[in-house]
Amino acid sequence: MVDVTVGMVPQRRAMAAAAGSSVPAPLACRALVDTGAIITMVASVTLSQLTIPSEGGWVTILSRAGQPAQQRPMFLVEISFPTNEQLICPVASWDELPDPVTGHAVIIGRDILERTLLVYNGPTGQFTLAL
């Protein structure tokens, strides 16, 4: 798990400010690094709180073996990491987040991981994520 913030991309913040709309502050979230996830997902409730509009695209997601595939809308967000590095990336909304056990509201998938260096130290159970 890693702490991140999720917010509007800079272009949307500028457009909202220019239109005189309030710009919601980025939200602090817990994120699960999932090397099995093809795409990064953010809790639908988080995206609603940020008033981030859908980009119009859809992605098909298989959440669990034996479960039906789901069509999920795509959103463009800025994800900031504890190192103060930001990534602008498309994400899918996910209604099953935040997770009731771990509380994570973001799943970081391979679409982000392919732009990073992920090192997992098995004996200590810790990982390093370098952007």
pLDDT in tens, 80-100: 988 888 899 999 998 877 888
Domains and CATH numbers, the chain: 2-130 (2.40.70.10)
Using the predicted structure, report yes or no on whether residue 61 has a pLDDT greater than 90. Answer: no
Q: What Cα–Cα distance (Å) separates residue 83 from each residue in 22, 39, 43?
A: 27, 22, 23
Tokens of 49: 């709180």
Tell me, what amino acid is at 61? I
pLDDT in tens, 13-46: 999 899 998 899 999 999 999 998 999 999 999 9
**Dihedral angle of Cα 29, 5, 117, 119, to the nearest 10 degrees:** -30
Using the predicted structure, report yes or no on whether residue 120 has a pLDDT greater than 90. Answer: no
